[in-house]
Amino acid sequence: MVLPTLVRAGMEIVAGRLATGLTERGHQVSIACIEQGGPVAGELVAAGVAVDVVPTPGLVTNLRAPALVAWMARRAPHVVHTHSGAWLKGARAARAAGVPGVVHTVHGVLDPEPWYANFLKRRAAAATSAVVAVSEPLRSYLLESTRLSPAAVRTISNGIDTRAFSPELPDPRARLLPDSEGRVVIGCIARLDPIKNHDLLLRAFRDAQRARPELLLVLVGDGRLRPELEALARSLGVKDAVRFVGNQPDTASWYRCLDAFVLASRAEGTSMSILEAMACGCPIIATDVGGNRALLGEDGAGRLVPSQDAAALAAALRQVVPSLGTPARLASAARTRAVRLFSQAAMVERYESLYREVTADRA
């Protein structure tokens, strides 16, 4: 596998779970990070996945990346699987190294994309055996932007470990949020990045909390925007009702602290945070972007609001949170849907089948 980094974010966690799942099924998996490593790398090495940093900087390496080609030649894989941000470099290097099959997964798109992005995607697709999108809306966008044949792009939803993310494990709220007694806890677990739109969430929370002062907002995750967002919470007058807790390795425990999970993203592919929250039995409030509608379905697992609409998000916080007098029904709907449609085992099996398909085509 080839990724830009192994920081703790959605795409990297998905790739890591895929790598460990394949390893458990008897495959040998190696990962090259073409920019830098990250905290997920150590977890993967402990699980038996080889991880190397293979610096591949600059635009010129889209045409020729000798270090990456040499790494692949040493590993001699049957398949190279590239992920968003590493497509063209990884696919062309794989072909130069004589790798039989090349798979790429599109996890999301930049907002906005650079003007030359579609050109690079078309060049990368020409060196790729199979292209995967993690949601149907993302697949539709990819087909439109690359003009690939519909048969060339398939959808494989992200998967989660529904044993680790479960409402049946002990309630950790008293331990993690000892000052939350009598509060209604809303949480967002996501990196502090512009695409996650925490500033909109803070403004909506300010408006909702005016009507419901018992609301408490917990933001799990970190990033370059943290000082700016902390300053915004102070300027909005909600500093005492917002907890910035940074990156947390045991996110499953934090989901189980929540009365509701909220995600205000500007764009999403298949949101791992939403899936994890569903598996933990959290009712969801999310913006209607990317694959979010497909995740929540019509089963009562959560509520969608228009993107960039702070008033609608605030209304959802006011209306949905008070309805938690019947949490068992909401939790059951979310949990049942996650287990039925988005398990990690199903994701691993679908990718394993695809790898066999693309190597058979080159046999």
Position 167 in a domain: no
Residue 324 has pLDDT above 80, yes or no: no
3-state secondary structure of 113: coil
109 in Cβ contact with 289 (< 8 Å): no
Residue 293 has pLDDT above 50, yes or no: yes
Query: Does 313 lie in the same domain as 237?
Result: yes
DSSP code of residue 289? -
35 in Cβ contact with 5 (< 8 Å): yes
Query: Of 313, 312, 316, 277, which Cα lies nearest the Cα of 296?
Result: 277
Position 226 in a domain: yes
Position 321 in a domain: yes
Global model pTM greater than 0.85: no
Neighbours of 127 (CB within 10 A): 18
**What is the CATH number for 337?**
3.40.50.2000
User: What pLDDT score does 98 carry?
Assistant: 95
In the chain, the number of structural domains is: 2
Give the domain extent around 15. Answer: 2-159+344-361
Query: Does 10 lie in the same domain as 145?
Result: yes
Query: Does 106 lie in the same domain as 76?
Result: yes
Query: Does 186 lie in the same domain as 149?
Result: no
User: What pLDDT score does 156 carry?
Assistant: 93
Q: What is the pLDDT of residues 225-263, one digit of tens each?
A: 999 999 999 999 999 999 999 999 899 999 999 989 999
Position 19 in a domain: yes
Query: Does 97 lie in the same domain as 33?
Result: yes
